[in-house]
Structures are given as structure tokens and as C-alpha cells.
Amino acid sequence: MSIMEKQMQIIGIASDHAGFDMKESLKEFLKNLDYKIIDYGTNSPDSMDYPDVAHPLAQAVEEGSVNLGIALCGSGNGISMTLNKHKGIRAALCWNQELAQLARNHNNANILSLPARFIETSLAIDIVKTFLNSDFEGGRHLRRVEKISCK
């Protein structure tokens, strides 16, 4: 992806209290790559409920006001479950780069979920890089992705 394409990319990001510090580090990393970031919260490490930030992020991806999303919570599971309740959202819980690449290549994931309590920030950055630099392959995978949403 060229610098011009990156400047047009808007990334939504959200976390609960467990992912707050990692979210702040990821925002700085992405800003240094010229991505525009929209932060859906939380804004502190104080305890809060992940659905309160997951729903606005999912709505932004659904509406197209952000191109892709990144979501964090302690295990990555709760926020992923909440995000995936939204039609058209394909949130993928990834704890390594290979999963992030496959989530984009095969599943056309539009939100990356990270388990903040189980990975280091340096690995999270590598996972985000892989997610953002991978594209949907289409082909045989398109048929499967089209079957994901309930009618």
C-alpha cells in the first residue's frame, strides 16, 4: 500500500480497560504511518464494559465511516463476540501474524480483535501491520464469506 493509500485509510480503534495501554501504543504507531485514527474509547484504564465501545466501532465499520477496525479487550473474546453481533462485521480474534493474514485473505475480516492480556505490544504492532497489509483473496473464499451473515 502506498503512502497516498494509507493517508486515505481511516482506522477505527476501541478497547476496554484491559486494552487501554496497548490501544494508545497502537494509535501512536498508526499515526506515524499516516493513518487517520478514530478512537471509540475507552479513554482511561478504569474498569468499563467492552460493549460500550464495541457497538460504536461496529456501527462505524458498517456505515463505512472507517475502513477497518481494531478492537482490544483482555482476552479478545468478549469484544469479538459483541462486534460479530452486527450484520456485515467480520471481527477476527488474532494472536499471531499468520492468523491476521488469513483473517483478511480468506475471511475478509474488517475488524481485528486482539487479546491485550496475552500478547506483548510489539507483537500487537506486528499483527496490526500484517492485518492492514493483507487483502481479501476472493475466489473460493467469497462464496463462504457471503454465507456468514444471517438473513
Q: Are 31 and 13 in contact (CB under 8 A)?
A: no
Binning pLDDT at 50, 70 and 90, where does residue 140 land? confident
**Is residue 82 included in any domain, yes or no?**
yes
**Is residue 10 included in any domain, yes or no?**
yes
Across 73-96, average pLDDT: 97
Residue showing cell 501504543: 25
Structural domain for 128, as ranges: 3-146
**Is residue 22 included in any domain, yes or no?**
yes
**Is residue 151 included in any domain, yes or no?**
no
Active site residues: 73, 106
pLDDT of 135 strictly over 70: yes
pLDDT value, residue 145: 72
**27 alpha-carbon distance from chain centroid:** 12
Q: β-pairing, 91-93 with 68-73? A: unpaired
* CATH code where residue 134 lies: 3.40.1400.10
Q: Are 119 and 61 in contact (CB under 8 A)?
A: no
Question: Residues, the chain, total?
Answer: 151
Q: Are 60 and 37 in contact (CB under 8 A)?
A: no
Spatial distance between the Cα atoms of 4 and 23, rounded to a whole number of angstroms: 24
pLDDT of 108 strictly over 50: yes
Count of domains in the chain? 1
**Is residue 65 included in any domain, yes or no?**
yes
